[in-house]
């Protein structure tokens, strides 16, 4: 069953706010022009012209009803909103909501799983399409990281749901809210995702305008985002392979090597690194010209960006604590689990496992550097 999306409404509001919603199909003929025709020939000519105009108007109405005119206007409005002006966050919200809403209507839990990854990818693709980004600039590297991150996460979550029966049942168990009542929630989630992606939008807007120091700082953020994306991709895959054949087992089987020999939840650690790197890379775009040059037009998206990262930080640390409790309840007392727990940190690596972190960190950094170059080449082609 197909469900309606609120995205067209948001896009229409965006178009109206951006003053690009213009309709030439419903212009009325003025009374003065209607009174010009006096002679029978003129009246006949006017009647034919009126019929032709009416036919054109009806065609326009049909076109609008079929969605072509609205879609074209909305797409133009969305592009304009992303490129400049105060409606950039609204544009990102429209994109994220258009992705999250139908998925949430299908499966409520998809708002924070498949919809989460897919919205990051689609927002990245929208930025890539909207801006003419420098091949060697940080913006292209960051947009590439968003696309990779979103595609990889979406693919992983769907694969896990298909191959791990308990995950499939867990996803279904969240379908408790009536379908149409999920729409406001889905839009609010789309707004949250737009806050998280706002630094990338403003880095794209500032592409080619940053100083050398600001560009270097942004590039460091891009590298960190890619590093986090690689760590999460590696550790998600490692955990899936270790758990898939032992779904429902009460015995601890790991994983406990590589990144899992350093951190008990390195996938969550990688995710936080990704979003912090994204925030870091976009920061120079907000403060270009110095703190004193900050205007309300930059303060609002900067605050939104900080709120977005604060939200994902709270979400991931909360998930870490819940999983810690679940693991303690399930595996507590088992020798293999207790030994692994004593050697690892909960989230970020610490000094007690500094030596053990050298190899996974080095490999992840190398993979991230390779991925940046490969994605730059592919996106620039």
Give one DSSP letter per residue of 88-105, joined into a string.
HHHHHHHHHHHHHHHHHH
CA gap 198, 160 in Å, rounded? 29
Query: Tokens 């009647």 map to which residue?
Result: 47
User: Comparing 11 with 189, which gets the higher pLDDT?
Assistant: 189
Closest among 266, 275, 306 to 142, alpha carbons compared: 275
> Alpha-carbon torsion 214, 219, 225, 227, what sign?
negative
Using 50, 70 and 90 to split pLDDT, how confident is the model at 70?
A: low
pLDDT recorded at residue 381:
67
Locate 48 and state its tokens.
Answer: 């034919």
pLDDT recorded at residue 261:
93
Q: What is the residue extent of each domain of the chain?
A: 7-15+85-380
pLDDT recorded at residue 68:
56
pTM of the model: 0.80
pLDDT recorded at residue 55:
46
Query: Are 119 and 209 in contact, with CB atoms under 8 Å apart?
Result: no
Q: How much is the average pLDDT of 162-178?
A: 85
Largest CA distance in the chain: 104
Residues forming a β-bridge with 143: none
Question: Burial of 44 by CB count in 10 Å (0-12 exposed, 13-18 middle, 19+ buried)?
Answer: exposed
pLDDT recorded at residue 242:
85
User: Comparing 33 with 347, which gets the higher pLDDT?
Assistant: 347
Instruction: List, for residues 282-307, the tens digit of each pLDDT value.
Output: 999 998 766 766 778 889 999 999 99
**N-terminal to C-terminal alpha carbon distance within the chain:** 38
Using 50, 70 and 90 to split pLDDT, how confident is the model at 85?
A: confident
**How confident is the prediction for the chain on average, in pLDDT?**
82
pLDDT recorded at residue 238:
93
Please enumerate, as own/partner, the contacts of 21-24 that have beta carbons within 8 Å and a separation of 24 or more.
Answer: 21/73, 21/77, 22/73, 23/69
pLDDT recorded at residue 248:
66
Locate 288 and state its tokens.
Answer: 């270009």
CA gap 127, 113 in Å, rounded? 22
Using 50, 70 and 90 to split pLDDT, how confident is the model at 354?
A: confident
Instruction: List, for residues 2-52, the tens digit of each pLDDT value.
Output: 333 444 443 443 444 333 333 333 333 333 333 334 444 544 444 444 444
Residues forming a β-bridge with 345: 263
CA gap 273, 184 in Å, rounded? 30
pLDDT recorded at residue 165:
82
pLDDT of 56 over the 50 cut:
no
Dihedral angle, C-alpha 125, 130, 135, 138, nearest 10 °: -80
Instruction: List, for residues 220-242, the tens digit of each pLDDT value.
Output: 999 999 999 999 999 999 999 88
Question: Burial of 77 by CB count in 10 Å (0-12 exposed, 13-18 middle, 19+ buried)?
Answer: buried
Instruction: List, for residues 106-146, the tens digit of each pLDDT value.
Output: 998 999 999 999 999 999 999 999 999 888 899 999 999 99
User: What percent of the chain is predicted at pLDDT more than 90?
Assistant: 54
pLDDT of 198 over the 50 cut:
yes
pLDDT recorded at residue 290:
66
């Amino acid at each position: 069953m197909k469900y309606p999306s609120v995205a067209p409404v948001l896009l229409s509001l965006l178009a109206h706010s951006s003053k690009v919603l213009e309709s030439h199909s419903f212009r009325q003929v003025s009374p003065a022009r209607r009174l010009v025709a006096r002679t029978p020939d003129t009246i006949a000519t006017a009647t034919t012209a009126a019929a032709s105009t009416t036919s054109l108007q009806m065609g326009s109405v049909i076109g609008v009803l079929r969605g072509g005119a609205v879609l074209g206007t909305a797409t133009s409005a969305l592009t304009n909103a992303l490129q400049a002006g105060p409606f950039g966050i609204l544009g990102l919200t429209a994109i994220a909501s258009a992705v999250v809403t139908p998925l949430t209507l299908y499966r409520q839990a998809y708002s924070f799983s498949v919809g989460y990854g897919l919205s990051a990818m689609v927002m990245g693709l929208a930025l890539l399409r909207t801006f003419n980004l420098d091949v060697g600039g940080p913006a292209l590297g960051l947009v590439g990281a968003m696309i990779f991150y979103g595609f990889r996460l979406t693919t992983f979550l769907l694969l896990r749901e298909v191959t791990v029966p308990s995950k499939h049942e867990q996803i279904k168990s969240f379908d408790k809210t009536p379908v149409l009542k999920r729409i406001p929630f889905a839009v609010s989630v789309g707004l949250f995702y737009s806050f998280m992606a706002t630094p990338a939008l403003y880095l794209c807007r500032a592409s080619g305008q940053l100083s050398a120091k600001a560009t270097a700082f942004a590039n460091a953020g891009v590298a960190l985002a890619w590093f986090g994306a690689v760590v999460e991709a590696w550790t998600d895959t490692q955990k899936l392979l270790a758990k898939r054949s032992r779904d429902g087992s009460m015995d601890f089987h790991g994983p406990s090597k590589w990144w899992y020999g350093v951190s008990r939840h390195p996938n969550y650690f990688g995710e936080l690194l990704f979003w912090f790197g994204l925030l870091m890379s976009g920061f120079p775009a907000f403060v270009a010209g110095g703190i004193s040059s900050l205007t309300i037009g930059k303060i609002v998206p900067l605050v939104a960006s900080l709120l977005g990262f604060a939200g994902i930080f709270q979400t991931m640390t909360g998930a870490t604590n819940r999983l810690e409790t679940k693991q303690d309840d399930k595996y507590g007392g088992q020798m293999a689990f207790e030994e692994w727990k004593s050697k690892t940190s909960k989230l970020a690596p610490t000094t007690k496992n500094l030596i053990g972190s050298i190899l996974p960190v080095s490999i992840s950094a190398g993979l991230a550097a390779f991925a940046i170059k490969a994605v730059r080449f592919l996106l620039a082609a």
